[in-house]
Each structure stands twice: as C-alpha cells, then as structure tokens.
Amino acid sequence: MHWSLVIYHFLSKIFVWLIYPLTIGILLISSSFIFYKNKNFKLFKSFFIIGLLIIYLPSITPIQRILFKSIHINSYPISQENQIDAIVVLGGEPSRSISGIRLYNQNIASYILMTGGSGNIFEENQKESERMTDFLIEFGVNKNNVLSENKSRNTRENAVFSKKIMDEYEIKSIVLVTSNIHMKRSIKVFEKLNYKVFPYNSQIFRIPKKNSEFDPFIFFPNVENLFISSQIIYEYFALLLYKIFGWI
C-alpha cells in the first residue's frame, strides 16, 4: 500500500476526531477548569467561552446554512439523452442504493456499479458493495447489469478500484450517486481519472429553509445542525488532504 494511503487512512479515521467542534469544545472547556483550579481566572474564562462558542456556533441554523451552501452541489437534470455509460453508487447510506435503483429504472444507463469495501480500521469482513448489490437484486435489478467493487476503504479507492472495472466495460461517462455533502470531493476524484461525471444527490442532508418571518429558534443549538456542520468540516479536511496527496 502506498504511504499516502496509509497516512490518509490514519488521519481520516483517528486524527479526524480532533477537528470536530464537539471534541475541540469539550477539550477547551475541560482545560479551562485546570486554569480555574490554579486561580488563573482570565484563561479560565477565555478557554470556557471559546469552547462553548465552538460547540454552539455550528449547532445553530444560520451557521449550518452557510457551511452547507459552501459545499453543496445540485444534482444534474439527468435523462437518457445524456448518453451515460453507468450509474456509480458509492457505499454508505441506504438512500444511495435506493437512488441508484431509481436511476436504473429510468433506463439512464445499462450498468450500475456498487463500490465500497469496509472503511472500518479493525474489521474488513463486512463489504458495503456486497450488501448493496444484494439489495439491488432483491428489488428487481438484473444481476447481469450489476457490477461490484468491494476492496475500497475511502473515496479515493472507490474511484481507483472502480476504474479497473469501468475500463473493462469501456465506461467513460457516469452518474455519480452519493450524499450532497460528499459530492464535491467525489466528483473531483473521478474527474481526476478522466471520467465525465453527472452528480446525483441521494439527499441525506438538507439545507434548512428560510422563513419569511424572523424565527428566534434558529439560534437555538440543535444536534442535527452540529452533526451536519461536523460532516462538512470533515469534508473540507479531506479535500485538503486529497489536494496535498495529488488525488484531486
């Protein structure tokens, strides 16, 4: 395995916890009490307030909305006229498989490629693509039209290992199915390998709608907002690493 893949796998699965707002906030708040115990009240207040803000700001709707808009890519209006060779579904949430089935039933492409091994550091037995393939066949997709890649552990490997299969079937243009937050990085990875990519969001994450009237509750912290904001922060972290390693 190339050294860059080893480093990325470590950073993305272990070190990444240190960039999440909740982790940083808890560490700062916990550290503040050390200063309090030592009667350094100035540093106590600084660490405590900054820690609270780091948790609070990504938890409110206005900040989540800004972060979401910065990374969101709309689905392409796909039709049979686009001459697409295959539907590529990245491993993850069940909605991605459902979206793949929907596109297949619209006769968008002849092949549907399920890609994803196990992103788990300690367990390699469960293969996402194999579960997704079984799901597709159960819901009526012709098994002869289903391709499967089950070795990849991250988005980069999704593309690289899928390329071997797609080259065999002379696939050049694809509909890429993943969540809207994950789409930006995914497109860049596949385009780096010279594929024509049409994005199709599986719509796991949503952007909060603006109300015509002022709603004070948008400034109340929300667990869903914090989760989505954390995922977006992770994506920017991953985009930076991918750029450093030359993967995008």
Q: Return per-residue pLDDT of the chain as tens, 248 residues.
A: 566 666 776 666 777 788 999 999 999 999 999 999 999 999 999 999 999 999 999 999 999 999 999 999 999 888 877 889 999 999 878 889 999 999 999 999 999 999 987 655 555 555 677 788 888 888 889 999 999 998 888 899 999 999 999 999 999 999 999 999 999 999 999 999 999 999 999 865 555 566 667 788 899 999 999 999 999 999 999 999 999 989 99
Q: What is the pLDDT of residues 67-116, one digit of tens each?
A: 999 999 999 888 877 889 999 999 878 889 999 999 999 999 999 999 98
On whether residue 100 sits in a domain, the answer given is yes
Where residue 105 sits, what CATH number does that domain have? 3.40.50.620
**Could you list the residue range(s) of the whole structural domain that residue 21 is in?**
3-72+223-245
Q: How many CA atoms lie within 13 A of 124 on its CB side?
A: 6
Q: Burial, 11: exposed, middle or buried (Cβ in 10 Å; 0-12, 13-18, 19+)?
A: middle
173/239 same-domain check = no
143/50 same-domain check = no
Beta bridge partners of 148: 114
61/85 same-domain check = no
48/122 same-domain check = no
34/97 same-domain check = no
Number of structural domains (the chain) is 2
68/119 same-domain check = no
139/99 same-domain check = yes
On whether residue 207 sits in a domain, the answer given is no
161/193 same-domain check = yes
On whether residue 215 sits in a domain, the answer given is no
pLDDT recorded at residue 209: 61
65/85 same-domain check = no
67/91 same-domain check = no
Q: Burial, 143: exposed, middle or buried (Cβ in 10 Å; 0-12, 13-18, 19+)?
A: exposed
pLDDT recorded at residue 24: 97
- Give the whole-angstrom CA distance, residue 218 versus residue 232: 19
